Amino acid sequence: MTNVTIGNHVANIGSYAFDECSSLTSIIIPDSVTNIGDHAVGDCYHLNSVTIGNGVKSIGVSAFDMCYNLTNVLIGSSVTNIGSSAFASCPNLLGVYFLGNAPNADLTVFAGGRSGDHLLPPDTTGWDVPFAGLTAVLWTPPTPVEDFTYTTINGAITITGYTGPGGDVTIPDMIDGLTVTRIGAGAFQHNSSLTRITIPAGITNLGSSAFSDCTNLTGIYFLGNAPGADLTLFAGDNHAIVYYPPHTTGWSSPFAGLLAEQQNPPSPAGDFSYDTINGAIIITGYYGVGGDIGIPGTINGLPVVGIGEDAFDSYGSLTSVTIPKSVTNIGDYAFDYCYNLTSVTIGNGVTSIGFEAFNECGSLIQRPDWQGRHPDRRLGV
C-alpha cells in the first residue's frame, strides 16, 4: 500500500491503524477526523508527507514515530495536544507547519530527529522559542483555494477572481485535481491590497487587465515559461517587477510593459532560521531541500540585510543561490563547503563579503558571457 485516501466522514484513526505500512508515501487526514491514536502511522519508513486536517484535536503518543523519510508535516488549526514521541526518530524532518495556536507538547515529540524548524502562522498564540526543542519562526500559510473564484473549461481551471485579504498571494497550481492554466481578464484588477503574486508553471495565458491597477504590487514571480499576455496586463502597476526563473523560455524585458529579471524564486521564509536585529533580518541557517534557491528580500515585512557566519556551511544540496539587493553583508564561511554550488547571483546592495565565504565551492564556474559586465551582480568563480 503506497497511498491512502480517507473519506470525509471518518472521525477517528485508532491506535496502530497504519503502523508498519512501510510502502506508504503520503497521507492526508481530512478535517472530519478529531483524533489520531497512539502509533497510528508509526514505522512507515517511506512516508514523506503528512497533512493533518483542521478538525484534529489530538495526536497520539508515537503517532508518526520512526517515519525515517518524513520531510514535511502540515498540522491543522485545532490541534491542542501532541503526544510524547509523536514525531520522534524522523531524521529527515525539515519543517513542521502549524496553522493554529501552540499545542501542548514535550521535549520528546521530535527527539532523535533533524533540527528543523517549527513554522508558525501570524496571529496565533502560545509559542515559545524554541518550541518542543526546535527553532520556531513565522511563515505565511498557502493561499486558500476558497479565496479564488474559477471556472472549468475543457478539463482545465481558469481563475476568474480573488476574494482574499491580499498581501503575498500564491495562485494554486491545481484545483479539484485539475491544472490551473489561465487567469481570466480582470481577475485581480483594481486590487490595491496585493503586494506580491506567485504564478505557477502551468499558467499559459493571462487575460487582459488581469492585474491592472494593483497599485501596491511590487513583484510578480513566475515559476515557468512566459505565458501569453498583452500590454494591458499590468497597466498602472508602476512599482512592480516581473521575475522569472533560469532555464525557462519566452521571456523578454519589458514583459507586458514591466521590467523583467531572471531570478530564482524566493524560497519560503520557513526554509530559513534568522535573527531580528534593529528592525532587520540576518539569515543564520537554512533547512530547505536545496537545489536552486532565492533568498527572500523580506521576512515578516522586515528587510533581509545580512547572511550570517556559517549560514549555509556544508549544505551540499545547494546548486544555485540568488542573493537579493537588500543584503549588504555576507558573513565569514557563509557558503563554505557548498561543493555542488554552480552559480551565485549577488545583488548590487552587497558591500562586504566575508572571509572564505565561498571556500571549497569547487563547482562554481566562470561565465565568459559575464566577464566585464555588471561585476557587482554576478559571481563567476
Same domain (yes/no): 284, 374? yes
Q: 240 or 298: which carries more pLDDT confidence?
A: 240
Residue 214 has pLDDT above 90, yes or no: yes
Q: What is the C-alpha R_g of the chain? A: 22
Q: 181 or 111: which carries more pLDDT confidence?
A: 181
Contact 359, 336 (CB under 8 A): yes
> Using CA atoms, how far apart are residues 266 and 293, in angstroms rounded to an integer?
7
pLDDT for 242 equals 93
Beta bridge partner(s), residue 252: none
Contact 223, 249 (CB under 8 A): no
pLDDT for 333 equals 93
Q: 368 or 299: which carries more pLDDT confidence?
A: 299
Task: Tell me the pLDDT tens digit for each residue of 3-12.
Answer: 788 888 999 9
Contact 331, 308 (CB under 8 A): yes
Question: pLDDT class for 250, splitting at 50, 70, 90?
Answer: very high
Query: Once rounded to an integer, what is the mean pLDDT over residues 237-257?
Result: 90
Same domain (yes/no): 285, 239? no
Task: Tell me the pLDDT tens digit for each residue of 333-346.
Answer: 999 989 888 889 89
> Using CA atoms, how far apart are residues 358 and 364, in angstroms rounded to an integer?
9
> Using CA atoms, how far apart are residues 258 and 349, in angstroms rounded to an integer?
22
Domain finish residue from 99, 120, 140: 140
Q: Which three cell numbers stand for residue 364?
A: 562554481
Q: Output the pTM of the full model.
A: 0.52
Query: Once rounded to an integer, what is the mean pLDDT over residues 289-310?
Result: 86
Question: pLDDT class for 327, splitting at 50, 70, 90?
Answer: very high
Closest CA to 62 of 10, 131, 111, 102: 111
Beta bridge partner(s), residue 178: 175
pLDDT for 96 equals 85
Distances (CA, A) of 136 to 53, 98, 378: 21, 10, 33
Same domain (yes/no): 241, 185? yes
Task: Determine the residue type at 194.
Answer: L
pLDDT for 374 equals 42
Same domain (yes/no): 203, 81? no
Distances (CA, A) of 349 to 12, 176, 208, 243, 374: 54, 43, 35, 18, 13
Query: Once rounded to an integer, what is the mean pLDDT over residues 284-302?
Result: 83
Question: pLDDT class for 370, splitting at 50, 70, 90?
Answer: very low
Mean pLDDT of the chain: 85
Task: Tell me the backbone φ, ψ of residue 157, rounded to 5 degrees.
Answer: -105, 135
For 66, residues 6+ apart whose C-beta sits below 8 A from its C-beta are: 42, 43, 45, 88, 89, 90
Q: 265 or 30: which carries more pLDDT confidence?
A: 30
Q: What percent of the chain has pLDDT over 70?
A: 90
Q: Which residues form the domain of 135?
A: 1-140
Same domain (yes/no): 110, 206? no
- CATH number, domain containing residue 232: 3.80.10.10
Closest CA to 197 of 231, 241, 153: 241
pLDDT for 367 equals 47
Closest CA to 274 of 250, 305, 253: 305
CB atoms near residue 348 (< 10 Å) = 9
Reported residue count of the chain is 381
Q: Is 156 helix (H, G, I), strand (E, B) or coil?
A: strand
Question: pLDDT class for 206, splitting at 50, 70, 90?
Answer: very high
Number of domains forming the structure of the chain: 3
pLDDT for 183 equals 97
> Using CA atoms, how far apart are residues 295 and 286, in angstroms rounded to an integer?
10
Same domain (yes/no): 291, 360? yes
Closest CA to 227 of 215, 214, 211, 240: 211
Question: pLDDT class for 247, splitting at 50, 70, 90?
Answer: confident
Element (H, E) at 262: strand 260-262
Same domain (yes/no): 225, 196? yes
Same domain (yes/no): 294, 316? yes
Question: Is it true that the peptide bond before 254 is cis, omega within 30 degrees of 0?
Answer: yes
Same domain (yes/no): 156, 250? yes
DSSP 228-240: B--TTTTTT-TT-
